[in-house]
Amino acid sequence: MPYRERSSFGYHNFVVDFRILEIMKQSGYPVIFDATHSVQILGGHRTRIGGNREFILPLSKATAAIGIAALFLEVHENPDRALSDGSNSVNLKYFKQILEYIKVIDNVLK
């Protein structure tokens, strides 16, 4: 989908409206949340997309708490050197820790 068709607000921040996740769950199909692309900032690095990776974990926890079926995360061994989406990617060394947080929340719900 072209970026101009995505919802953004203010300084080109994407808007994550958690209401839609609940609406989508009612369809009966599994809902997958893309945590890394949800923290993108259009034009955040002038000629390319920026991002706020520090919000990946809080958004992931929140979506796990409402019972999403799966989580999508872009992971890179050195996000600051990634050719694409580095500023909104999870550093590989934190990936296991993020999954452990999500698993705890998921287990509580089940």
Task: Give the pLDDT mean for 78-101.
Answer: 92
Q: Assign 86 a pLDDT band (cuts: 50, 70, 90).
A: confident
**Beta-strand pair 8-9/13-14:** antiparallel
Tell me if 88 sits within 8 A of 52, measured CB to CB: yes
Q: How far apart are the first and last CA of the chain?
A: 34
Q: Assign 1 a pLDDT band (cuts: 50, 70, 90).
A: very low
Task: Give the pLDDT mean for 60-75.
Answer: 95
Tell me if 90 sits within 8 A of 80, measured CB to CB: no
Tell me if 79 sits within 8 A of 44, measured CB to CB: no
pLDDT at 58: 95
Express each pLDDT in 11-64 by its tens digit. 667 778 889 899 999 999 999 999 998 898 876 555 667 888 999 999 999 999
Tell me if 76 sits within 8 A of 86, measured CB to CB: yes
> What percent of the chain clears pLDDT 90, i.e. is strictly above it?
57
pLDDT at 40: 87
CA distance 95 to 74: 10
Report DSSP state, residue 50.
Answer: E
In DSSP notation, 86-105 reads GGGSEEHHHHHHHHHHHHHH
